[in-house]
Amino acid sequence: MRLLGERRRAATQAAAIVLWPVLVAVVPAPADQEASNVPHVVVSSYGRCYAKSVPQAYYGSEGTTHVLRVAKGQDVPLHSFDWFSQRIHIACNVSDNKTPTGVSVVRFGPWARWHAASSDHLALGFYFKGELLTEYSTLDIAGTPDNVSRSVSHYTVIEEVLGYERQDGNGYVFRVTTNDGRTLSFDPATGELNSTEPSAPDC
């Protein structure tokens, strides 16, 4: 009986060795998957204000975002928005050169599904002093539907977020780099696209 058991184990091991390459070949590699929403806090560069974003669902933009100013004792609520974003940028003392400084919030859109830029897909939105200034779709940023970087399940139009850059006084610009190498500069106090630097020519 002991010999028979050893023979069965040997046969089982041999079969496993033979089948292993077949299983590896048949089972597909896992595709990139959309990460589920989680609550998070984003702090300004100097730590004077922050945004707390809480989702309502595992995916999508439903939820709430609260902006607060850091203060002694208890933090002071400033603004609230009826959306959730996995990626937020915030600056506390931004000026439009007309009124007192305020908080700028840049909200990025959710995971862009499918494989072409669309006017229905949010790329980024600009908020100042609690008010929506303007939103840009992925098609606005890409220029054409096919000017995207594709993966198995989604696409992107922004390669890198350079973020806020301080100018004179309390003036700022907000910059992003697109997938085709352009650098877009926005005024966070108005939401306007100020300039577009073309991509560097291929050497």
Among 103-107, 149-153, 184-188, 193-197, the least confident range = 149-153
pLDDT for position 28: 39
pLDDT class for 202, splitting at 50, 70, 90? low
Tell whether the model's pLDDT for residue 185 goes beyond 60: yes
Q: What confidence tens digit (pLDDT) does each residue in 78-100 have?
A: 999 999 999 999 999 999 888 89
Residue 199: strand, helix, or coil = coil
Residue tagged 């896992």 (tokens): 30
Across the range 100-119, mean pLDDT stands at 94
Tell whether the model's pLDDT for residue 166 goes beyond 60: yes
Residue tagged 């609260």 (tokens): 66
pLDDT for position 159: 96
Query: Mean pLDDT over all residues of the chain?
Result: 85
CB of 127 closer than 8 Å to CB of 81: yes
CA–CA dist 152, 40 (Å, integer): 27
Q: What is the pTM of this model?
A: 0.81
